[in-house]
């Protein structure tokens, strides 16, 4: 009997071992199906549906560039005007046979034309547009780039995405960035301020959204290496310790080692937990359930947590019947088991005992912090041409353009990265202080009135590509112009003689005996070409920009206002300025005359100024942070008084090529919120007279005046106005036309003496930055944008006159 009993026990152990081996093999097989290697993504792959993945991804913070398969197109949008594209078309007329109303005077023919240009398609290719301040995954390690061009400090100081996420726990770096220094200084406010339980819940939410609002993106790559013989056995079984490593070599090759996607956390944690739960459950079912002993056994030695995601203390106990919330002791048990331990609750004293179990993997817990806290998907915006009334026609050589129409347009699509991410992370950051149930997004408060579609104060840096598509539409217009041709050579003797300048009496005498067979002179075909410039004003629509602006800076529950609680009150820092971001774009297409312009994006400059820079300045010792721009409080006197100190008694002064009517008209629309009170009509002659006395091009001085202050339009804004752009000089106060103009007129000579050269780039560089040449690409882009603005003003107020190479 004893031998039979021993034999049965041995057979039972062998049976259990066989079952365990089978389960292990199945587990390994399933694991191999879940974990593989992938290629790096080809940029701008837009065709991967939300339920699928590419075998290449770009960066863990923007895995699928220009892909909006997972995002809703109903997100709130902020709009902004003030960007313009200039088209040039050429109209050609010939003489003879070109139509028109022609009159011959001597050897010349004067023809006037009224040409209706029929509707024809225009295609504009926008390129180079990027999204400033929100994030940058292109100048850091990614599947296409093996090196960082930005330091960790630059990432977190200059970009919202990096600031909120921090530099730790990124697929591109493995555990290389997870140093004590980075954890303390560069891990971002969310990971410092929010409890780990809340971060766990947020990451679980990211996993649950796979296939709905998130792609099943790569979260982390890892390499198994437990060490020793037992460790190697664990590695073979997929149970070893996993060390995070960099996913990418940066040469468009596959991600390295074991690749864990968000979906890798969907499934059972361990065959051991699953098997032991079933075995103990079966054994306990054989015991009479007296005084709840069955549940006591399961609670004590079974009910092992078997999910790859951690438990949440407010969740229901998955094993309890009827359903109830898990106890704090159960939560501790489940959490330890998720981390690779096997735990037992000692009955009666409710004491928790946990031991590491080599058959329960801890990799899902070890790697869990690499799961993003938010969506990393792109959202879609666009650039479109404004209504027909906003398109303005200008030209050279006195061409008059009327009846401009731009119809049947297809706006250019823009793909915005980091917007949904920043909106979700900003909301998460607000949870650290916002009262429960309180709205976290609201209308801006204590923000100075919006100034202009042509805002002078902007902010810019290099961000991620917007992958702008083509903008198309049908353009039509009417052009009125005149051409002068040489009159055809007459065939008659007398007429031909006088045509070539002969005196009438001599010609009559010479023609008494004309040639018997006069040679006819063929009339050559003459061409007249006129360039027509069409300025198309645009509007950009930016998804989620209003919400992010409200959450981080301007709303009543904004993060910025937790640090600066008093704005727009007596003795406070002043009012917040709504500063747009700016990116330079190149555009090309048929008959494009201008190759680049400045695309302004609402609120982004203000987010940089106040959220990224302002908060850091407030937290640093006095004098060590950047100077932050504020507008005066709304109840403060800006000093304008609605008055202007120009000399309005100067008689009317005409300037060749200057159209004062158009100049006055542009001041009425330069500030979007106006019109306020521009003073072009009252003060333009003072500008002209003083400019001429200093040998400064008067049209250039007028263009600067319009650009910098809308011709001293003090009433359109509620902060001090720099009439001619002079700031930081106590002897040249704001809202002071006379002193601003006098100082400005001395600048060209001063700049030329300092820099030793006279060209427009030098002038603008000195005028804006204080040095002779731009020192980085950002300054180059700003100079280009400023030049484009001046060219536009010139095209309106002085058609046909080019911007001078230098003011004098």
At 169-189, the pLDDT tens digits run 999 999 999 999 999 999 999
Say how far apart CA 543 and CA 77 lie, in whole Å.
4
Residue 474: CB atoms within 10 Å:
14
Backbone angles phi, psi at 446, to 5 degrees: 60, 40
Strand partners, 380: 415
Instruction: Tell me the pLDDT tens digit for each residue of 777-802.
Output: 888 988 988 998 899 899 899 988 99
- Say if CB 444 and CB 610 are below 8 A apart: no
- Say if CB 579 and CB 606 are below 8 A apart: yes
Q: Which residue has the higher pLDDT, 212 or 596?
A: 212
Backbone angles phi, psi at 242, to 5 degrees: -105, 125
pLDDT value at residue 28: 36
Ranges of beta strands (E only) in 417-463 are none
For residue 407, give the DSSP letter.
E
As a whole number, mean pLDDT of residues 99-116 equals 86
| Preceding amide of 745 cis, omega within 30 | no
Q: CA gyration radius for the chain?
A: 37
The yes-or-no verdict on residue 392 having pLDDT over 60 is no
Q: How confident is the model at residue 453 (pLDDT cuts 50, 70, 90)?
A: low
Dihedral of alpha carbons 486, 492, 496, 499, sign = negative
Q: How confident is the model at residue 593 (pLDDT cuts 50, 70, 90)?
A: low
Strand partners, 474: 121, 407
The yes-or-no verdict on residue 688 having pLDDT over 50 is yes
> Whats the size of the chain, residue-wise?
808
Of 754, 753, 773, 778, the closest CA to residue 762 belongs to 773
For residue 613, give the DSSP letter.
I
**Percent of the chain beyond pLDDT 70?**
83
| The two structure tokens encoding residue 511 | 């023609």
Dihedral of alpha carbons 173, 176, 178, 183, sign = negative
Interstrand relation of 56-57 and 39-40 (parallel, antiparallel or unpaired): parallel
| The two structure tokens encoding residue 729 | 């000089």
- Could you write out the DSSP letters of every residue in 509-562? HHTTS--SSPPPPP---EEEEEEEEEEEEEEEEEETHHHHHIIIIISTT-SHHH
Say how far apart CA 709 and CA 722 lie, in whole Å.
6
| Preceding amide of 675 cis, omega within 30 | yes
Largest CA distance in the chain: 156
The yes-or-no verdict on residue 79 having pLDDT over 50 is yes
Q: For the purposes of burial, counting CB atoms within 10 Å of the CB of 351, is it exposed (0-12), middle (13-18) or buried (19 or more)?
A: exposed
Say how far apart CA 469 and CA 415 lie, in whole Å.
9
| The two structure tokens encoding residue 50 | 């939300």
Q: For the ranges 92-106, 231-245, 260-274, 398-412, which has the lowest average pLDDT? A: 231-245
Report pTM.
Answer: 0.70
Query: What are the residues whose beta carbons fall under 8 Å from the beta carbon of 46, sequence distance 6 or more?
Result: 64, 66, 67, 68, 69
Q: How confident is the model at residue 529 (pLDDT cuts 50, 70, 90)?
A: confident
Question: b vs e for 41-68, b when ≥16 Cβ sit within 10 Å of the residue's Cβ?
Answer: bebebeebebeebbebbbbbbbbbbbbb
Q: Describe the strand order of the beta sheet including 218-224 as a list of residue ranges.
A: 242-245, 218-224, 258-261
SS3 state of residue 643: coil
Say how far apart CA 218 and CA 38 lie, in whole Å.
9
The residue assigned the tokens 């003011």 is 807
Q: Where are the domains of the chain?
A: 1-34, 271-315+325-360, 660-797
- Say if CB 466 and CB 129 are below 8 A apart: yes
SS3 state of residue 16: helix
Ranges of beta strands (E only) in 397-488 are 400-410, 412-416, 464-465, 470-486
The yes-or-no verdict on residue 7 having pLDDT over 80 is no
């Amino acid at each position: 009997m004893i031998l039979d009993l021993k034999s049965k026990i041995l057979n039972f152990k062998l049976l259990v071992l066989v079952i365990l081996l089978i389960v292990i093999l199945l587990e390994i097989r399933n694991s191999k199906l879940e974990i593989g290697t992938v290629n790096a993504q080809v940029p701008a792959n837009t065709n991967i549906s939300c339920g699928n993945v590419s075998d290449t991804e770009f960066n863990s913070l923007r895995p699928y560039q220009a892909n909006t398969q997972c995002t809703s197109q109903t997100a709130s949008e902020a709009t902004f005007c003030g960007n313009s594209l200039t088209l040039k078309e050429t109209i050609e007329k010939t003489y003879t046979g070109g139509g028109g109303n022609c009159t011959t005077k001597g050897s010349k023919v004067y023809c006037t034309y009224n040409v209706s240009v029929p509707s024809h398609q225009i295609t504009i290719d926008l390129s180079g547009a990027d999204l400033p301040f929100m994030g940058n995954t292109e100048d850091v390690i990614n599947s296409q780039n093996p090196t960082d061009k930005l330091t960790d400090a630059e990432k977190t100081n200059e970009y919202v995405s990096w600031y909120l996420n921090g530099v730790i726990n990124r697929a591109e770096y493995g555990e290389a960035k997870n140093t004590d220094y980075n954890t303390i200084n560069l891990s971002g406010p969310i990971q410092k301020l929010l409890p780990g339980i809340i971060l766990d819940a947020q990451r679980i939410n990211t996993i649950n959204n796979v296939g709905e609002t998130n792609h099943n993106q790569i979260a982390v790559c890892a390499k198994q290496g437990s060490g020793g013989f037992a460790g190697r056995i664990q590695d073979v079984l997929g149970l070893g310790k996993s060390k995070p490593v960099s996913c990418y070599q940066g040469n468009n090759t596959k991600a390295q080692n074991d690749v864990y996607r968000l979906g890798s956390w969907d499934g059972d944690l361990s065959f051991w937990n699953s098997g032991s739960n079933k075995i103990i459950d079966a054994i306990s079912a054989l015991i009479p359930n007296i005084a709840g002993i069955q549940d006591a056994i399961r609670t004590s030695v079974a009910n092992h947590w078997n999910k790859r995601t951690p438990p949440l203390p407010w969740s229901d106990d998955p094993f309890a019947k009827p359903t109830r919330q898990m106890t704090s002791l159960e939560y501790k048990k489940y959490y330890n088991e998720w981390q690779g331990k096997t735990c037992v609750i000692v009955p009666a004293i409710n004491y928790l005992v946990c031991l590491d179990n080599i058959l329960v993997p801890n990799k899902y817990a070890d790697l869990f912090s690499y799961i993003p806290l938010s969506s990393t998907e792109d959202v879609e915006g666009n650039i479109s041409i404004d209504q027909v009334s906003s398109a303005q026609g200008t030209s050279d050589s006195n061409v008059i353009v009327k009846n401009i129409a731009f119809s049947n347009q297809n706006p250019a699509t823009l793909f915005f990265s980091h917007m949904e991410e920043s909106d979700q992370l900003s909301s998460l950051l607000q949870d650290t202080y916002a009262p429960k149930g309180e709205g976290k997004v609201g209308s801006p408060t204590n923000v100075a009135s919006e100034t202009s579609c042509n805002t002078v104060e902007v902010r810019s840096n290099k961000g991620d590509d917007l992958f702008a598509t083509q903008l198309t539409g049908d353009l039509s217009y009417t052009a009125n112009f005149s051409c002068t041709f040489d009159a055809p050579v007459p065939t008659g003797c007398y007429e031909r003689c006088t045509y070539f300048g002969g005196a009438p009496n001599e010609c009559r005498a010479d023609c008494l005996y004309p040639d018997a067979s006069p040679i006819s002179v063929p009339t050559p075909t003459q061409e007249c070409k006129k360039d027509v410039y069409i300025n198309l004003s645009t509007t950009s629509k930016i998804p989620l920009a209003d919400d992010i602006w409200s959450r981080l800076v301007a709303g009543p529950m904004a993060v910025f206002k937790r640090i600066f609680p008093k704005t727009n009150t007596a003795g406070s820092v002043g009012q917040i300025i709504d500063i747009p971001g700016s990116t330079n774009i190149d555009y090309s297409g048929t008959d494009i005359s201008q190759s680049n312009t400045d695309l302004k994006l609402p609120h982004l400059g203000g987010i940089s100024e106040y959220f990224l820079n302002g908060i850091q300045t407030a937290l640093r010792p006095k004098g060590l942070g950047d100077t932050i721009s504020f507008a005066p409080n709304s109840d403060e006197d800006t000093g304008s008084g609605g008055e202007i100190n120009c000399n309005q008694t100067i008689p009317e002064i005409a300037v060749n090529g200057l159209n004062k009517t158009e100049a006055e008209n542009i001041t009425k629309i330069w500030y979007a919120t106006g019109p306020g009170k521009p003073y072009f009509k009252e003060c333009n002659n003072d500008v002209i007279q003083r400019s001429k006395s200093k040998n400064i091009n008067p049209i250039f001085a007028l263009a600067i005046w319009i650009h910098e202050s809308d011709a001293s339009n003090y009433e359109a804004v509620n902060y001090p106005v720099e009439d001619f752009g002079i700031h930081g000089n106590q002897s040249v106060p704001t809202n002071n036309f006379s002193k601003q103009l006098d100082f400005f007129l001395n600048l060209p000579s001063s700049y030329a003496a300092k820099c030793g050269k006279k060209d427009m780039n030098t002038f603008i560089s000195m005028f804006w930055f204080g040095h002779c040449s731009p020192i980085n690409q950002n300054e180059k882009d700003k100079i280009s944008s400023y030049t484009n603005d001046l060219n536009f003003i010139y095209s309106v107020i002085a058609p046909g006159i080019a911007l001078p190479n230098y003011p004098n």
